[in-house]
Amino acid sequence: MYLMDNPNDKRQKAIPKTRLGRLSRVARIAGGVAGGMLAEGARQLADGNRPKMSDMILTPGNAGRVAKQLSAMRGAAMKVGQLLSMETDGLLPEELSNILAQLRDNAYSMPSDQLEQMLLATYGENWRDSFNNFDPNPIAAASIGQVHRATTLDAEDIVLKIQYPGVSESIDSDVDNIAWLLKISNLLPKHMDITALLADAKQQLREEADYLAEGVHLATFYQTLIDDERYVVPWYYDDLSSETILAMEYVEGDPIEAQVNLAQQQRDELMCNLFELVFRELFELRLMQTDPNFANYRYQTDSGQLVLLDFGATRSFKAEFVVDYKRLIRAVIAHDDDAVVDAADRLGYAASDASEQYRRFLVDIFYIALEPFAFDGEFDFASSQLSERLSELSDEAYGFKEFWQTPPTDILYLHRKLGGTFLLATKMRAKVNCHQLVSPWITRLR
């Protein structure tokens, strides 16, 4: 979810709702890329250079065209760009990675006529009678919906997350169209198979587009954490919610990434609480909010409480997966290469079938990725350079293209959450003894 600094100065763009309309948008992207290639080729020839195909495709102008059109389409199209930018970071050409990253921070709002259409569908012709007040200016926007403030007839402050029209109906066709675009434009390395990633994007969007299911997750986390004073979860208004509109309590809070100037002890405590929540989600609940976007958290300065928002990307993990991930963490802590490979096999990586060099590469990836859990002491995220070291090691993946695979789906979701938490801890310059926090959870496999 992306917060709008000035909701009165927002960008509006109608969302194409029909399959043909969305396909034409993709065709427009392809046409723009082709035109950009011709222009870049002509420019390089004029400069006396012999242009390469990759140089003509991966120009800032071309990638910018892709990002702009995906942002305008929202829905599955924008989500695929987000997934690619987060899940293949370090494996994509730098130019494409930089532009796809724009989709993490870029979203239009829908115009008033489409907003009215969605409200009418849920509340009927007299939808205004359902509220004391409704603010037509969104306070936040994301890939599949935008957020508006309102007050109930009982004068309670709430927010409505309102889905963009046509999103749920367009999921499969959108993802297939984007896959076609990526294929014909050569915007991805030829050896990269993203079939599993695209299938996962479809499934994830179906889940995120069901706001009644998200409401159930919201209510579950509310009940689970109601007695833990460290966290605040909004109340879910099921009587005002539908498959396309989610109503919840409005909770005050400041952007969590803006808390970088808190005292060191406060920043450490904030991140400690967040890591404890991650471990509880994984090892106790086996139910995790997997979207790592910073905007899904707010911070209440006076109370020091962490506000938890947006449960659309909540995922349930099987007990067997959780046990196997415990094995992986234990193996990394023990620095046992064979045990790491065995755990990776159990989790679906098929590491034992690969070459010895690839197994070494995979083991090294896990040692760096889970280093905060293995380090017995306060881990200094700011000085660790985790992201940089992982990126450098990921460059070696090109040498193992016959073994490279999209991570198993459960791992992909979990590592998105862990990676986002590590990134926030780095931004907060936090020092956290993650080893001490995780150890009680992995003492027993069951």
| Structural domains of the chain, ranges and CATH numbers in brackets | 2-110+166-202 (no CATH), 111-163+210-251 (3.30.200.20), 253-446 (no CATH)
User: Angle at CA 405, nearest 5°, toward 321 and 181?
Assistant: 120
Going through 220-320 in order, the beta strands assigned E by DSSP cover: 231-232, 245-249, 254-255, 287-289, 297-300, 305-308, 314-316
Predicted confidence at residue 173, as pLDDT, reads 74
Q: How many helices (H) and strands (E) does the chain have?
A: 18, 14
User: Catalytic residue among 268, 291, 310, 324, which?
Assistant: 291
Residue 282's alpha-carbon distances to 204, 316, 318, 426, in angstroms, are: 18, 9, 10, 22
pLDDT tens column, 193-223: 667 767 777 777 788 889 999 999 999 999 9
- Which is nearest to 76 in space by CA: 6, 13, 26? 26
Amino acid at 109: S
Percent helix, strand, coil in the chain, to 5, is 60, 10, 30
Task: Judge contact between 118 and 162, C-beta under 8 A.
Answer: yes
Residue 348 corresponds to which tokens in the numbers above? 């679906």
Cα–Cα distance for residue pair 93/102, rounded to 1 Å: 15
Q: Which amino acid is located at 237 in the chain?
A: Y
Residues 6 or more apart in contact with residue 160 via CB below 8 angstroms:
134, 147, 148, 149, 150, 240, 245, 246, 247
Q: Tell me what pLDDT residue 25 has.
A: 46
- Residue range 373-388: average pLDDT? 92
Burial zone of 230 (CB within 10 Å; 0-12 exposed, 13-18 middle, 19+ buried): middle
For residues 91-113, average pLDDT? 57
Per-residue pLDDT, averaged over 267-296, amounts to 93
| Phi, psi of 306, deg, nearest 5 | -100, 120
> Which of 180-184, 265-269, 273-277, 360-364 is predicted least confidently?
180-184
325 near 373, Cβ under 8 Å?
no
Residue with tokens 């415990």: 326
The pTM of this model reads: 0.76
- The yes-or-no verdict on residue 316 having pLDDT over 90 is yes
Is 70 exceeded by the pLDDT of residue 344? yes
**Which amino acid belongs to residue 393?**
L
Q: What is the pLDDT of residue 145?
A: 84
Nearest to 231 by CA among 182, 181, 281: 281
Beta-bridged to residue 112, according to DSSP, are none
The average pLDDT across 285-298 equals 89
Radius of gyration of the chain (CA): 23
Torsion of CA 81, 87, 89, 94, to 10 degrees: -30
Pairing state of beta strands 140-141 and 2-3?
Answer: antiparallel
181 versus 401: the higher-pLDDT residue is: 181
8 A C-beta contact, residue 78 and residue 84: no
Would you call 291 a catalytic residue per the annotation? Answer: yes
Mode of pairing for the β-strands spanning 157-163 and 245-249: antiparallel
- Which stretches within 50-111 are classed as H helix? 53-57, 60-73, 75-87, 94-100
Percent pLDDT > 70 in the chain is 67
pLDDT band of 22, cuts 50, 70, 90: very low
More confident residue, 372 or 45: 372
Query: Residue range 184-191: average pLDDT?
Result: 58
* 247 DSSP β-pair partners: 160
What single-letter amino acid sits at 413? Y
Q: Classify 405 in phi/psi space as left (phi over 0), alpha (psi -120 to 50) or beta.
A: beta
Q: 């499969």: which residue's tokens? A: 172
Instruction: Report the pLDDT averaged over residues 287-297.
Output: 87
Distance CA 145, CA 75 (A): 8
- As a whole number of angstroms, the distance between CA 10 and CA 338 comes to 54
User: Alpha helices, DSSP H only, in 280-408?
Assistant: 319-334, 337-347, 356-369, 371-374, 381-384, 386-394
Q: Which of 81-90, 205-214, 349-358, 383-392 has the lowest mean pLDDT?
A: 81-90
**Residue type at position 61:** G
Alpha carbon distances (Å) from 10 to 110, 221, 264: 10, 32, 36
Could you tell me the two tokens for 237?
């208004």
Q: How far apart are CA 351 and CA 365, in angstroms?
A: 12
**Do the Cβ atoms of 128 and 148 come closer than 8 Å?**
no
